[in-house]
Each structure stands twice: as structure tokens, then as C-alpha cells.
Chain A
Amino acid sequence: MKHTIRQIFHDGKFVVGFVIFITLLLVVLVYPIFIKDSPLAIISQGTFVPPGIYVNNYDTINSPTTYTLMLDNAAAKRIANKLSNDDRIAMKDWLVAFGIPESEIDTTNIEKLLDQWGQNYDPMKSVPGMTLAKQRYFQRVNVALQGILSTESLVIAQINPATGTMEQTGEINQSAFVNINDVANVRLLPLGTDNFGRDMLTELVKATGVSLQIGLVAGLVATLIGLILGLLGGYIGGFVDDATMFITNIFTVIPSFVLLILISFSIGQDKRGAVTIAIVIGLTSWVWTARAVRSQVISLRNRDHVNLSKLSGHSTLHVIISDILPYIASYVVMALILQISQGILAEAGLSILGLGPRTTEVPTLGLMMNWAMIYQAHILGKWWAYFPVLLVIALITFSMNLMNTGLDQVFNPALRD
């Protein structure tokens, strides 16, 4: 036993898979200890807030201490932020349409461009051949440009409740900075938010945990059923074997995915919890284990040590447990690993169809995919809503299959390189 384990951990593939899997598992376990937010709490208005650090605007202005940093490129950055490359090209187009020769316009020289714009642009003037929407666009650009080069500071004013007039309470210099540690509310959203405005990372970690549980339950159920049927059919033989093989064959030819769809649809949305789905997945995916266990048991059944055990008067149960199970244990563990990863994939597939666990309690990887798809995240280019989920699914199944291949190479010496 000790030797086998050492051998397993010397196998490169197994170790890589194991490390990936344990890392995921640790993240799932450790993350909630540090970040106690509810994974389904809706924190943002609007859908798909991009990833980044969010600093509260109000708190920044009211920050107790401000610092003055004289940075050379602050103004340039500010302009670049307000005036995107597209806007510059649009401005050039307008100026060309207005009648300024193209050679005189330089989109990289912002100061000159703004100068030309300020001299020539007239919101009332319509350029021939330009749609109204385009005119409006230029009017908006013009408004955005106003004050872009000014060096005056911004005034903070508040309404005095007694008199109802605006009173200046402070001023923000263009070179004023605050230390991010002084700002009361800063929220890091490493993966942005999803379509409901929930923190993606927290949700993803929770979903990974739930999906792993679903996979584990589904895998255990499937392996248990497969093991029992395979042992019964293979060891006892005769009528029992015929009966179990009949059931197994029926389940083999009916695609398990179709069965899954039918069963989870008839359960109904209200009763579909994560555990129910896991059990249903387990109930439809045991066929492979049953077949493989049966064929292994048949080859074991007539070995000498089994016959000896039978002759010594051991009960059938005892023979199965102590003389047959140890020989197929390695295979069963490998099958279990595969079933877990298949279970996670099956849950994701079901959820994309809208037949996954009900949505109000826990997130699962499949449900997150489902929401991202329904809200067209992939078409809108909101990569943070679907790509991390896909990556996690792929990593889980990849790590499990690597472990499986590694085990296979240890137990089946013929496959070794």
C-alpha cells in the first residue's frame, strides 16, 4: 500500500492534476474564511460591472487629508482619458468635412487639435450629408471637451438647508491626491460583477464548492450503484446477471443526457435543489462502472484464492469484501474520479438548458454559465462573466482526468512510457 502510494506520487501527471485540484479545493475552503460576503448579495446596480478596484467618489472628496503631487503627465493622462482615439478621429473627420485640409490636422497633437476644434466647431452648423445622430454625437464630444485644458480647480458646494442656497464647502485642486488607505470605502472586484450585479469572484468560489459537492454526490451515487450491480451480476451470475445486464443495456443505449433532461424536467423547478440534481445525475450515469466492474469480477470469480475462500466456508458477502473488492479497488477509485468530473459537466449542461438547480439558493458553475449566456455576455464581450467559469470547469475536469491517467499508468504497467 505504502509502496503504491509512493509510486502514485512519483507519477508526473498525477502530481500535476493533484496539485491543481488541491489548489482549487483550498481556495474554495479558505476564501470564505477571509471574505464573509454572501455570494448571492447583489452589490451593484446595472449588469456586468467590469473588473477593477472601485473607490468611493464621495469618500474621496471627503477624505480628511489630501496630498499635492506635481506629476508632469497628469494633464496628458486626463485628456487621453476624456478624449479617446475614436473621438479624435471623429473630430478630424468633422474638421475635414468642414473644409480644413487633411494635412493640417494631426490627431496626435492634442493641443493643436483642440485649438482647431475650438475655432471652427459650431454646434448649430450642419455639415452636408451628416445624420442627426452623428451631429448629436459631435455635440456631446464638444461638451465633453469644454474645460479639458483649464487649470482651475473644481468647487465643491452643498445646499444649505436653512437658506436653500448653494454654499461652497471646498475646492479640489487638479494636483490633489488622496491616499487610497484614507478612503473609507474601497471595494476590489477582481472579476467584476455578473448580470445581477453580484461579486463574480465570491460567487465563483461558492459555485465551485457547490459544483464539487454535486460532482462528489453524483459520483458516489453512480459508483455505488455501478459497483453493487456489477458485483451482483459478475459474482452471482445466472439469472441475477441476466437481469442486471438487461437493465444496464437499456441504460447504455438511451443517452443518459436525454434521461437527465426528462427526469429533471418532471421533478419541476421548485423541487430541484443542488442535491436532488446531483442524485439524478448519479442515477443516470452508473452504467459504465457497472459494466466494467462486472467484467473484472467475472475474471476474478474463478481465481484460486476466491475458490479457496469459498471452500473455507466464508459467506458470499465476506468473499466479495475481502477477496474481490481489493482487486477492483484501484479501478473503482479511478471510475469515481471520472464520474465526479462527468457529474460536474452534466450539471453544467443541464443548467445551460435551464434545467439545473433552482436559482435562488446557491450558485453552481452551470447556473453561472446559464446566466452569462442568457444575458449574452459572450456577444457583448463581457469576458469576466463566462471565461473564469469555463476555466474553472476545465481545470477541475482536467485535473481529475490527469490524476486518472496517472493512476492508470501506475496500475496498468502496459501503458507506461
Chain B
Amino acid sequence: MAAIVARIAQGMSNSTGMKEVYEQYATLFGTNKPMLQQFFIYVNNMVHGNFGTSFSQYPRPVADILKSSMVWTISLQFPAIIVGWLIGNVLGALAAYLKRGFDKVLMPVSIFVSNLPTFGMAIILLVIFGVGLKWFPTSGGYGFDLIPNLSWKFAWSVFMHYQLPFWSIVLIAIGGQAIGMRSMSIYELNSDYVKYSRFLGIKDRKIVGYVFRNAMLPQITGLALAIGTMVGGALIAEIIFSYPGLGYTLLNAVMGQDYPMISAVTLIITVMVLIANFLIEIVYGFIDPRIKAAQSD
């Protein structure tokens, strides 16, 4: 942290009075204390919900800025990732089951789409629907002429601004999940219990139900593990759309060399991913009875 303050001061230290200013800031941000002490002060403050004061938006506390941007990120990313995951799994399962034409078209498309970086998809959607067709606004979380309140006009504006970032995250997620689900389903469809059920004369529809439930399980673990990467990509999509979430806050923090903000944002992202992981693990226990059975042994 001391290095950062020094770097900020370095940029301005042409005038002679800068040393005094530097010391004043150092006292203010507590960077004149030893490193270890600084760390404990930081941890202590953090536990009390105090992330310090932002460098770039000076008098505003970081926690305040984060509170407003976190809502946007959570309401954008988690629905998008879950919707993308669901659609992707359904498509992947269909590709594995129907094979032929559907599979032949879907697979290359989803491989290509999932290889586009999220920001690439974001830019393409932005250019087509925002700049070209002018269906949706290109940036921000709500109209620049509105003040957040509970009116229909504001809600509609938020809804319209929500569409492009949402679908760019969803489309990317669909591609990756469809590929995974397809190979899992193919693997399960060829397994012994499926053949056995066929010999027993169980209806195809019922077998397919079993197969997809089994193929789904690794996908859930996959989601838990991939959620970190997905959030990283989605943060950049936010930046493309200047969506007022954590990604955009992070960009501003990086631009303004705002160290307390960067550390707080990254911490929040990590905690969010951890909580998401935790929730997925709990859900997994409900879906897969084997986990509970293993634990009760």
C-alpha cells in the first residue's frame, strides 16, 4: 500500500510542496505504520465492514461504492450464468440424444461460440443490437437522464439496459455447457446400465431421464468449478457495456491506481465465488443422494 501511495505521489511530485501532501496522505491512509501492523488494521477494519477510503473518489468510503455496484453485478451475473447453464445443458443433451443433423450443426457452432471471449460476444451484440439496430442502449445500467427510483420508467430503462450484457454472458455459457453435457450424455448413453435397461424393456423416455440425471451431476460440479472463470469473463463484459457493476468499478480502480478499492473488489469477488461454490455444493447434496450416503457412512 505504501508503494502505491508513493507511486501516486511520484506522478505529482514535480512541485516542492508535495512532500508535505504526501505525508499528510500517508498519515490519513495509515501507510506510515509498519507493513504488518497495516495488514492487521486492514483485516480488523474489514471484519467490521470498513474497507477504507477510496483513493480515486477520495472522500467516499470503499464499502459505500461497493454496496451500490455489488447489487448490479449479482443481479446480472448469477441469473445469466444459471440461465446459460440450463439452456446449454438442454441443448447438449438434445445433441447427444438426437445426433445427426442437430448435433452436426450445434456442435461446431457451440465450440466456436464458447471460444469467443465474453468481451468479444459483448462487442458483437453491442454493435449489432446497440449501434446497428438501435434496439437496446449501448452503455450504463439505466438511462443517463434518470435518477434511481421505483417508477415504471426507471424499471423499463433498467430492463432494456440489462438485455445486452445478460445475453452476451448467457450465449457464452451455453456454448461451453452444451459441449460438456453432450460428451457426458454420450458417455452415459453408451454405459452398461442403459443397455441393461433396454434389455429389460424399460421405455426409452424413462431411460433418457436416468441418463440425463446422471450426466447432469458432473455438470453441476463443473459449474461450481467454472464459476470463477465465468465471473472473470462477465466482469469484462460489464466493462464493455459500462455496466455499473463490480467490473466497471474495478476498471476505474485500476485506472485511478486505487489500491484499497482493487483489494476490496477482488476480495468481494472471491467471497462471492466462494459462496456460490458453497451453495452449489449444498444443492449437489440434494440432487445426488450418493453424496449424503457417503457422508453418513
Give the interface of A toward B (CB within 8 A): 252-258, 261-262, 265-266, 268, 341, 345, 348-349, 352-355, 369, 373, 378-379, 381, 383, 386, 390, 393-394, 397-398, 401-402, 405, 408, 414-415, 417
Contact = CB atoms under 8 A, between A and B. Distances in A.
A252 B225 contact: yes
B181 interface: no
B228 interface: yes
B235 to A, nearest CB: 7
A257 B274 CA distance: 14
A349 B230 CA distance: 12
A381 B277 CA distance: 40
Interface in B112-141: 112, 114-117, 119-120, 123-124, 126-127, 131, 138
Contact of A257 (B115, B116, B124, B229): B229
A255 B254 contact: no
Interface stretch (B39-47, B51-59, B262-270): B262-270
Interface in B251-275: 251, 254-255, 262-263, 266, 269-270, 273-274
A379 B138 contact: yes
B232 A255 contact: yes
A378 B186 contact: no
Contacts of A398: 111-112, 115
A276 to B, nearest CB: 17
Given A353-B250, A355-B254, A394 B112 contact: yes
A353 B254 contact: yes
Contacts of A354: 251, 254-255
Nearest to A394: B116
A354 B253 CA distance: 11
Contacts of B115: 341, 394, 397-398, 401
B254 to A, nearest CB: 5
B239 interface: yes
Contacts, number: 109
Interface of B: 3, 7, 99, 103, 111-112, 114-117, 119-120, 123-124, 126-127, 131, 138, 179, 183, 186-187, 190, 225, 228-229, 231-233, 235-236, 239-240, 250-251, 254-255, 262-263, 266, 269-270, 273-274, 277
Contact of B187 (A256, A265, A378, A414): A414
Contacts of A349: 117, 119, 232-233, 236
B183 A415 contact: yes
Contact of B270 (A258, A268, A386, A402): A258
12 contacts: A256-B229, A257-B228, A258-B266, A261-B250, A261-B266, A341-B115, A394-B116, A394-B120, A397-B115, A405-B179, A414-B186, A415-B187
A20 B266 CA distance: 37
Contact of A254 (B111, B183, B228): B228
A385 B38 CA distance: 45
Nearest to A400: B115
A255 B229 contact: yes
Nearest to B274: A253
Contacts of B103: 417
State the 4 A-B residue pairs at the shortest beta-carbon distance, nearest first: A257-B232, A255-B228, A397-B115, A398-B115
Nearest to B267: A258
Given A393-B117, A394-B120, A255 B233 contact: no
A252 B228 CA distance: 9
Nearest to A402: B111
Contacts of B120: 390, 393-394
Nearest to B138: A379
B136 to A, nearest CB: 13
A265 B262 contact: yes
A258 B187 CA distance: 34
Nearest to A390: B120
B99 A417 contact: yes
Contacts of B232: 255-258, 349
Contacts of A261: 250, 254, 262, 266
A224 to B, nearest CB: 21
B218 to A, nearest CB: 13
Contacts of A373: 239-240
B266 A401 contact: no
Contact of A352 (B119, B131, B263, B269): B119
Nearest to A261: B266
A348 B237 CA distance: 12
Given A266-B3, A401-B111, 7 more contacts: A253-B270, A255-B232, A265-B262, A341-B115, A369-B119, A381-B127, A401-B115
